[in-house]
Structures are given as structure tokens and as C-alpha cells.
Structure 1
Amino acid sequence: MRARYVELFGMRPLFQDYLLRGANWLSAPKPQLRDELYLVDEDGLPALGEAEPAFEAANVLRLGRDVFYQVSRSGNELGLRWLESTLRLLGDVRVHPIRGLYNGTHIDSTIAFLRPGLVLLNPARVTPETIPEPLRGWDVLWCPPIEERRVPALPYTLSTPWVGMNLLMVDPEHAIVDADQTALIAAMEKRGITVIPHTLRHARVLGGGFHCVTLDTVRDGGPEDYLG
């Protein structure tokens, strides 16, 4: 999206500080965003071409030493190729491409890791037969129907109502969840997760929920193997 070209510039002082304190600073190739990158599929919907590597971070979920990458209109195959080649330089990191589940943007309204062995899945996009292979042995919590109690501020929104399952796990026992999602909150509490209800009023208009608007630059622990 051309409108977001300079979005990360606000983070540069933070990244520069980390660099001076000994961190490694890697950056994906800045796309030229030429017209041939912006295509239309057979249904008349926007599609992402392969003119250059292009993906956004919201197309990626990290699970310890494993990384899940959604090939979609916000992440192409060349972007996957670049990410795989770069992560190989960092050590034993496994990249799992996800194809055919959802062609829209952002992976975290389709798959959300709650704790080791428990995953929240979007039943409108994932079926028992299409669960990604590395997660087939995990316990699945199927997201209840999304409750939308507010009319979006604008007639056109960047996100579907499923942004309501876009939650933030603070740790394996605590989650920040959209306060309107009472059925989801109840289902998570039955699994022993303490939920902190919160309101992000314009999530659909802005195109992101609690997971999307959070950039955790420091994490406890190392590259755990949750799938081994």
C-alpha cells in the first residue's frame, strides 16, 4: 500500500538505539511499488503480483523457532523467498508457507496462538481438513461468531468483522481481547485464560486489532521449539 510507505520511519530512532546497543538490524528490500505489482484476480478483487518481493509483517506469525507466512494479497511468493533466505542466516528457523486459506490481508484474524498446544482458528476460513500441517496435533479453539455492536465510522473499512478475533496474548495465561466479543471471552476463560477486555473502537476502519497495533521488540525466552 503506497499510503503506508513511510509508516516505519517513526520507529527508526528505536531501531537505531537497539543497533548501538549491539542488536542486528535487518530490513526487507524496500519495494518500488510499480503498477505491475497491483493486479486484479478473476473475481475482480485486488491481487498482489510477483514483480518484486513484497509483504508486510502482519502476514507473518512467529512461534518460537517457527515462522508462518501467509501467501495472499499482502504477501507474495517472492517475499516468502526473501524471508526464507534471510532467516537461514539467523540459524535454525523453520518457515511454513500458508497458501489457500485466506487471500486477504493479515494472518492474525485467521490464526492466533493462545499458548503452546492451543490455537484459535477462524472457522470461516479454516476447516479441520485445511488446518496447517504443523498444527494438526494442537488443540483447536474455533472462534465463535463475531459480535459487532458498533456501526463502523466509515462506509468502507479495511477489515472484516473478523478483526474481532485479533487479540494480544500477553503471556500464556493472559489475553487482551475486544470487549464486545463476549462469546470468545467466555470460550477462552473456559480454557483457563484470564481475559482483559478492552475497546479499540475503530479497529475495522484502521485495519487492525490489538495484535496488529502492538510491536513487541523485546521478548522473554529464546527460540523455543513448540512443534518438535
Structure 2
Amino acid sequence: MENSVNGDSLEKLKGLQITSLDDDDEEQEQETMPEELDDYYDDDDDEEEEQESVTLGFLEKPINRWSLLRHLFPSKAGGPPAWLDPVNLPSGRSCLCDICGEQLQFLIQVYAPISEMDSTFHRTLFVFMCPSMKCLLRDQHEQWKRPPESSSRSVKVFSCQLPRSNPFYSSEPPKCNGTDKPSGPGVALCNWCGTWKGYKVCSSCRKAHYCSQKHQVNSFERSFIFLLTNSINAQ
């Protein structure tokens, strides 16, 4: 009798289906999920499929320094800009931060020609920004609060374009072997920043040019410290 009971119990245990509590919860959620949520997730899948691919650019160290010269039409970040038009540079308040009034600093340039049009056979975009985080934050705030025509800017983008036939470059593509040279000279740039046109000339040497009095003072102070340090070391 005892053996038969145990046998029946074993048969009943074999017929049991054991599931976890998590599985039960998932089944309940699937059963009670409203149709609106199903449509929502379906829309998300459609949006992911419709998103376009994005091409990212990465900075690389140039193999040759001459590859960053303006007559080779480089795309570059940092350092002085390689002005496409070396004569007609931005001037006046366009070179300054609209918030603090200081000279903008060069960030990046991208060579982006539109060869289908003769007027944009050469085209470069230049991005400048104020190094002050306070100005950048205020710029961002004003973009939200004020219309574009009345807001102040601490980041500015300049576009420069030239036709294929121009006084600065050959109409033939560069050889990129170190022998290329520009067809025409450019204006004297600031000896301190190397970015903007040097309107001021040093009264002592008559050779150095500066875009502002502040940069002239900075250059003088650096030269004075350099000479003072060398004289002390010589003693």
C-alpha cells in the first residue's frame, strides 16, 4: 500500500510544470500591456530604421608641416588659420567676441568646395570662438532668449570662397609634394596670434605687426622676459 501511494505521488510530481515567478510576471505584463504601448514600441523601431548614418571626422597629425599651408587648401584644427583669401580678412568688430570684446581665437577650418559652381570652386569655413567659458554660456543663453539678429555671439563662423581663376592660386590642382607655392602674397599677420591682420607696426623694429595694442604689449612683455632671463643666465 505504501509503495502504491509513493508511486502515485511520483507520477503526479512528474506531471507538474514548474515556472519561476519572473516568468509569471512577464506573462501577466504581456497580457495586460495596452495596445497604445505596442504602437509606441513599433514607432520607436521605425524611427531607428529611418535614422540616417553620420560620418565623423577625426584629427590626425600631418605627415608634413607644409601640407597645412594655405595654397594646399587644408582642413585643420588649432594653430593659426590658413586663410583662403590672404588679403581680404575679417576686420573690425567681426574679429571680436560680442560679449567681452576680446579677439576671437581660431578653432577649426574645413575646406568644403562646391566645384559645380565657378564662384565656389574654392571654399573654406572658419570657426572662431572666445576662450572665456563665461562668454560661451551667455552666448548659449541668448540664443534661447533673443532673436538671432539681436543676440551677442562668442562663436563665429566665416565662409571664404574663390573662383578657380583667382590672383592667389594656380588654376591647376596642387602637386602636394612640397614644391607648390602660392601665386600671390598675403597681408602681414599679427606677430602675436598669427590670426588677424597686423594693422599696428612696431615703432622700434618697424617689422613686427600686431592686430591690437593688447597683443603688441603681450609680445613686448614676452620679449622683455626672454631677454632678462638670458642676461641673468649669462651672468
TM range (shorter): under 0.3
TM-score, structure 1 as length reference: 0.20
**Structure (1/2) with the larger helix percentage:** 2
**Structure (1/2) with the larger strand percentage:** 1
TM-score, structure 2 as length reference: 0.20
